[in-house]
Amino acid sequence: MSLVVVGSAGIDTVETPSGRVHDVVGGSAVYFALAASLFGPVKVAANIGADYPEAVWEVLRRRGADLGGVRRYADHASFRWSGRYRGDMNAAETLRTDLNVLALPPEPPASYGGARFVFLANMGPEVQLRCLERLGGEVVFADTMNLWIESARPALLALLRRVQGLVLNDAEARQLTGEDNLIRAGAALLLLGPQVVVLKKGEHGAFLFARGFHFALPAYPTTRVVDPTGAGDSFAGGLLGSLAAAGSLDPPGLRRAMAYGIVTASFTVEEFSTRGLERLERAQVDQRLEELREFVRL
């Protein structure tokens, strides 16, 4: 499996109706890599400060991850985020953000170049474009957010013309396209360049749009939602991990990959931080995939 992720590694403080945790592991690249590594080795590029916990890297090393792109800056603090979930667990209220080392763009090493599958996690589109130039990649997926749609649209549109896949949530799809209807929004996003568009809908599952077909799945019906932080990134990790392991973007592979993304995210939300993913084994993922198949069978 040839898969690279470029993104953030952070330290989070999170409050939900289930409790509060302080200074726990977070970051898009970390959630993604923990999920994707269940399908095969992944190469990780992210910046960390001297204060970043070491334990999560040990988990990834045991799963065969290449951490040569994780750059530790002894004179910087790690990216920190504090948020709170109330009522609607699909959206967090951000209480504090300290960019710290995240202000320095990640620099994937030259050895990561030529990987077949690449995931550019949520970063400024200018940074994503620079990483794309450095890495190449036959199948490149990108994530984005409302901030970049509003403040960096020209660069984002340039990025979309060069990637094969886009992952974003339903609100971001509406904002980017101006379409209220998600089916029309998915079709409009395909016209911007990607071959595959995945719209995340939180507890309501996800839509997948590709040229010639579209597909929808509900979320896995878990009753234990402790912390939604990182669910979208672990969804992307399951999705890309499955695609990279299969090596194909054909319709059956895309359907299977989206199901794996949904299942992987379901384990994430059942624990604070990355705890659920760190303890997770592939057999558990496959078992839950079969349960999801039974759940959606007509």
* Residue-wise pLDDT tens digits, 226-253: 999 999 999 999 999 999 999 889 999 9
pLDDT of residue 19: 94
- Structural domain of residue 127, as residue ranges? 3-296
pLDDT of residue 202: 82
Cα distance between residue 267 and residue 227, in whole Å: 10
Average pLDDT, the chain: 94
Question: Is pLDDT at 100 greater than 70 in this prediction?
Answer: yes
Q: Please say whether the dihedral angle defined by the alpha carbons of residues 214, 152, 14 and 131, taken in this order, is positive or negative.
A: positive
Specify the CATH number for the domain of residue 100. Answer: 3.40.1190.20
Give pLDDT tens digits for 27-73: 999 999 999 999 999 999 999 999 999 999 999 999 999 999 999 99
Confidence of residue 1 (pLDDT cuts 50, 70, 90): low
Q: pTM score, two decimals? A: 0.96
Cα distance between residue 186 and residue 168, in whole Å: 11
Question: Is pLDDT at 298 greater than 60 in this prediction?
Answer: no
Give pLDDT tens digits for 286-296: 999 999 998 88
Number of domains in the chain: 1
In sequence order, the β-bridge partners of residue 30 are none
